[in-house]
Structure 1
């Protein structure tokens, strides 16, 4: 049983065929239509399609004026792309510990991480659950800092009725095959800031502004565009977005029910006013359970699982460059070692949930330390 299977079919195949037969393959009318679909769905004023969420984060940081030597605050627990985008700009990622209940940045630790070199606060909506954005935005406002949401996993998620990715200065979604919708590879930047959107548009396409006959290059930009081939898949996926999000949420509730009562397993939480996308269904194992051994045991039962995501300070590059100790990020360290992602997607049947639960129960029992 695979960890995730994208919900795709004839709709996506026909969309790609149409683009290929048109002869217009690069960024064009399909990309514009995809951006419009995201704007309509999220109620964001602007949306700019990009080649990946990673390039989207980097582009947004550049557009926000982040310079080499500046600091960007991020949670310690995330896929390294969050920090890589900061480093690509020559800036310094400042890791803040997480709330172990939500796996999101702990706002109570945020203010003490702000220095005179801080330029952006970049929370991550872990696994599709929005961070505590009211608290984060309050702190950001007091210090005059923009908030860039890493909403890679959170398209379709909401916070007090507002869409993830529209809660700060700008947000970035991912369309990797493990995300809510897919374009194979791709991402989207959303913002309500007209000036920021205009700068993103210029920087995304080589720093060019198109005149009557030719382009004029007004900045040293990037080629971070999304092709019409990818955008056509995204447009087809947006026709399924309600089915996909509702399907993931329904599957999560069935899996939750099947897992209830397994000793040593803490299930994901979902506060009443925050709608989780369940891009990943991540549980937390008690400290006396060897999580890596559980992954091995589940594999022998033909069920794919993996870690939640990464404590970045534990990865060789970040460990060697920044030298952050486990004691500085205790909850991040715990989550890195004890979080476990289980299979979840709308195509799973009720019998699959039972299979996952039975396999997990046995694997956990076999993986107790001591």
Structure 2
């Protein structure tokens, strides 16, 4: 089976983990601080704050930005559920805006229609590794005095108009889950140029502790370990190479499948560097599950990111959400992710293309 995602861990990562284990300092320590500095430099911001996951990074960011009970956070319903849940964690209400059907990202032209006196933040997602339309989003945020927090969980190394994802809003959050473009096994990172927000995030991730045993606010245990950071430092050095291979794989796929009937290859905005966390096609209405089953039988792993809009999840339905985002719902019924990870061989890429061609003849 060609997996749809595959973490690439080498001897370098293993050796660095061994060094940390031998040092005896395995909780948050010098390696975390080194990783934060390296990641901030990579993104091009002043501050990076490591966290235990991408989800806890989002949670901390909203708290550090001052989002609180009964505030509203505008975001996309076409994402992993953590994007919406992070607003719930702080007592705020996620307000969902439909997507641009080409990029799958939040449609900025729909934002102003849902802004109210309670709106505090906009949380765009750089879905699949393609940055959202940040110029327009920031313009709207500035006009309405709103905070912009990028969900960059899938966008390590992506760029919008030559600026790195993670440096485009007031704050940004990355995930280092094993399937991401780089990994620490589990982990997350907040990036920002705002010193006050960075300081608050650091306090909140460590039980609200400003100084040893001096707890100034209600905080959490959202710290990263030195074990995870040691992996991250090696992976960060490899990230550009990983992304280069992802882009090359995506370009090969698009070139060879763009004319296959029944499927639509991914759109890439001319304003961005897309890093293809996922290579996600659209499949002719009603045929996705048939195609997915066919590919799986041929030994090709697939994924659906994401089959259910966040507002249609049981949790949100029970909270009374009855949103109607037609582009999101259409995408949720048509998208299918194919392997694009850096470990793919040319033979595997050829097999995916040949299988899609054969599937087109049989299914569509």
Instruction: Give me the TM-score of the superposition, normalised by structure 1.
Output: 0.95
1:94 aligns with 2:92: no
Matched-pair contact (CA < 8 Å) for 1:165–1:190: yes
Please list the CA deviations of residues 19-40 of structure 1 after superposition, one character each: whole Å capped at 9, or x if unmatched. Answer: 0000000000000111111011
Give the SS at the match of 1:147: strand
1:176 matched residue in structure 2: 177
Report how far residue 259 of structure 1 moved: 1.4
1:140 matched residue in structure 2: 141
Matched-pair contact (CA < 8 Å) for 1:72–1:93: yes
Count matched residues: 362
Q: Which moved more, 1:268-277 or 1:38-47?
A: 268-277
Match of 1:234 among 205, 221, 232: 232
Which structure 1 residue ranges, 5 or more long, are not aligned?
none
Inter-partner Cα distance in structure 1 for 2:94 and 2:287: 30
Give the SS at the match of 1:137: helix
Report how far residue 291 of structure 1 moved: 1.1
Please list the CA deviations of residues 187-229 of structure 1 after superposition, one character each: whole Å capped at 9, or x if unmatched. Answer: 000000011111111111111022xxx4311111111100000
Please list the CA deviations of residues 73-103 of structure 1 after superposition, one character each: whole Å capped at 9, or x if unmatched. Answer: 1111000010111111121111100001000
Inter-partner Cα distance in structure 2 for 1:81 and 1:323: 16
Please list the CA deviations of residues 285-307 of structure 1 after superposition, one character each: whole Å capped at 9, or x if unmatched. Answer: 222x4212221221111111011
Matched-pair contact (CA < 8 Å) for 2:295–2:301: yes
Report how far residue 264 of structure 1 moved: 1.8
Q: Which moved more, 1:345-354 or 1:36-45?
A: 345-354
1:68 matched residue in structure 2: 69
Inter-partner Cα distance in structure 1 for 2:253 and 2:298: 17
Inter-partner Cα distance in structure 2 for 1:107 and 1:158: 18
Inter-partner Cα distance in structure 1 for 2:321 and 2:18: 50
Please list the CA deviations of residues 105-152 of structure 1 after superposition, one character each: whole Å capped at 9, or x if unmatched. Answer: 001111001111111100000101000000100100000000000000
2:217 matched residue in structure 1: 219
Inter-partner Cα distance in structure 1 for 2:53 and 2:278: 19
Matched-pair contact (CA < 8 Å) for 1:183–1:233: yes
Report how far residue 364 of structure 1 moved: 4.4
Matched-pair contact (CA < 8 Å) for 2:312–2:321: no
2:346 matched residue in structure 1: 350
Inter-partner Cα distance in structure 1 for 2:357 and 2:171: 41
Q: What does residue range 1-370 of structure 1 map to in structure 2 within 5 Å?
A: 1-210=2-211, 214-287=212-285, 289-309=286-306, 310-325=308-323, 328-368=324-364
Inter-partner Cα distance in structure 2 for 1:221 and 1:169: 21
Inter-partner Cα distance in structure 1 for 2:149 and 2:277: 20
Inter-partner Cα distance in structure 2 for 1:154 and 1:319: 29
Report how far residue 367 of structure 1 moved: 4.2
Report how far residue 241 of structure 1 moved: 1.4
Matched-pair contact (CA < 8 Å) for 1:166–1:190: yes
Matched-pair contact (CA < 8 Å) for 2:262–2:283: yes
Inter-partner Cα distance in structure 1 for 2:227 and 2:152: 23
Matched-pair contact (CA < 8 Å) for 1:311–1:335: no
Give the SS at the match of 1:165: coil
Instruction: Give me the TM-score of the superposition, normalised by structure 2.
Output: 0.97
Which structure 2 residue ranges, 5 or more long, are not aligned?
none
Matched-pair contact (CA < 8 Å) for 1:258–1:353: no
